[in-house]
Amino acid sequence: MSDQRPPGPQKASIYDVAERAGVSHMTVSRVLNGHPSIRESTRTRVLQAIEDLQYTRSAIARALARRRSMRIGVIVESAEQWGPNSTLRAIERAARGFEYSVSSYTTAGDDGAQLTSGIADLVAQGIDALCVIAPRTSSLDRLREHSAHMPTLVIGADAEEGLHTAAVDQSAGARLAVAHLIECGHREIAHVSGPPDWHDARAREQAWREVMTDAGLVPSVKATGDWTSDSGYRMGTELDVERVTAIFAANDQMTLGLMHGLAERGIRVPDDLSIVGYDDLPDARHFLPPLTTVRQDFGALGVLAVQRLVDALDGGELAHRDLIAPELIVRSSTAPPRI
């Protein structure tokens, strides 16, 4: 007996596809779910019928077929900052490619209780897996209490005991930046760091110290900002640049303010002082001068994070640590020091 289509709107349904392909609606469902026992000729007819009718399977149907909500929960701290915000958007784009949706929860400040509230909120929405863009130590300590109940991945600079992590290699990126300045001939290189309670900031500062030390140089001049261009501007007006010929700044936003502050003092980049930033903001090529910086591939990071979580949901094991290589983008803000 042929399938009977239930009454409803004229948009193509699974029953329309079944009729066009000459199979049952259950066979269509098996094709959609990749069932291995379907003959290739049958699969081809069904796929052609799907294309002819422009059939789109509903999210509810997919969720029922896989016994999942098809939803990934993402907790992001300091979402106003470029890195966390870009990572969240990349995860959202990647999730759509895997037919998942994303529910996000934003926390602010160094309050572990907000992380607990965020996890509870997302679990109540029936998420299948959890991703935490967590740059602070206290967040990771609290997360360990909850990570055993579902596949959980942390986007963070450091490998963490008992947690699965993925990140752009922050140490490698900072090493590229400092090594570039040394190759240009600089020997006195200052560092403008991010907040010390951020993992990314600590990783970049540590790499600056190690590369300088390995080259027989002294990493002596350092200032601390809060990722904002305002803090960079303040350091640009106050930093003792008589002792250095170059600066490695921990992000492009601070670099923008830094260059502004230096310009007000009559200090020219790169004639008097070379500068390397970090992130490669979309506007970095339009700084004056265009900024040499470290590019982070947030798109690749989003795909990697979602792929790992989907693999875990399909029965695989999460890798303990995944790293994506950054890239140095050389523009006009760096040059050999003046003799």
* Residues 233-284: tens digit of each pLDDT: 999 999 998 889 999 999 999 999 999 999 999 999 999 999 999 999 999 9
Same-domain status, 161 and 183 = no
* pLDDT of 198: 87
- Euclidean distance between the first and final Cα of the chain, in Å? 90
* Residues 152-186: tens digit of each pLDDT: 899 987 777 667 889 999 999 999 999 999 999 99
Same-domain status, 237 and 270 = yes
DSSP string covering 120-133, please? HHHHHTT-SEEEEE
The pLDDT confidence band at residue 2, using thresholds 50, 70 and 90, is very low
The pLDDT confidence band at residue 131, using thresholds 50, 70 and 90, is very high
Element holding 307 (H helix, E strand): helix 298-313
The yes-or-no verdict on residue 115 having pLDDT over 70 is yes
Residue carrying structure tokens 């979580």: 309
Same-domain status, 177 and 162 = no
Q: How far apart are CA 107 and CA 126, in angstroms?
A: 20
Same-domain status, 205 and 284 = yes
Q: How far apart are CA 71 and CA 63, in angstroms?
A: 9
pTM value is 0.78
Same-domain status, 72 and 53 = no
Tell me the CA distances in angstroms from 240 to 43, 233, 236, one per residue in order. 70, 14, 9
Structure tokens at 163: 């947690």
* Residues 181-205: tens digit of each pLDDT: 999 999 999 999 999 888 899 999 9
For residues 52-70, give the mean pLDDT: 68
Give domain status of residue 133, yes or no.
Answer: yes
* pLDDT of 10: 60
Q: 39: domain CATH number?
A: 1.10.260.40
Structural domain harbouring 179: 170-295
Same-domain status, 196 and 264 = yes
* pLDDT of 302: 92
CB atoms within 10 A of CB 86: 18
* DSSP helix/strand/coil, 247: strand
Please tell me which residue, 114 or 225, carries the higher pLDDT value.
225
Same-domain status, 159 and 307 = yes
The pLDDT confidence band at residue 1, using thresholds 50, 70 and 90, is very low
Same-domain status, 123 and 81 = yes
Q: What is the mean pLDDT of the chain?
A: 87
Phi, psi torsion values for 24, nearest 5 degrees: -80, 160
**Listed range (87-96, 311-320, 329-338) with the worst mean pLDDT:** 311-320
Same-domain status, 123 and 211 = no
* pLDDT of 59: 57
For residues 122-150, give the mean pLDDT: 77
Nearest to 334 by CA among 172, 171, 182, 173: 182
Please tell me which residue, 38 or 251, carries the higher pLDDT value.
251
User: DSSP alpha helices (H): ranges in 184-285?
Assistant: 199-214, 229-238, 252-264
Please tell me which residue, 309 or 98, carries the higher pLDDT value.
309
Give domain status of residue 205, yes or no.
Answer: yes
The yes-or-no verdict on residue 42 having pLDDT over 80 is yes
Give domain status of residue 21, yes or no.
Answer: yes
Buried b / exposed e over 235-253, threshold 16 CB at 10 Å, is bbeebebeebbbbbbbbbb
The yes-or-no verdict on residue 58 having pLDDT over 70 is no
Same-domain status, 23 and 164 = no
Of the chain, the percentage scoring pLDDT greater than 90 comes to 54
Same-domain status, 256 and 179 = yes
Overall number of domains in the chain: 3
Helical pair 14-21 and 25-32, crossing angle rounded to 10 deg: 100
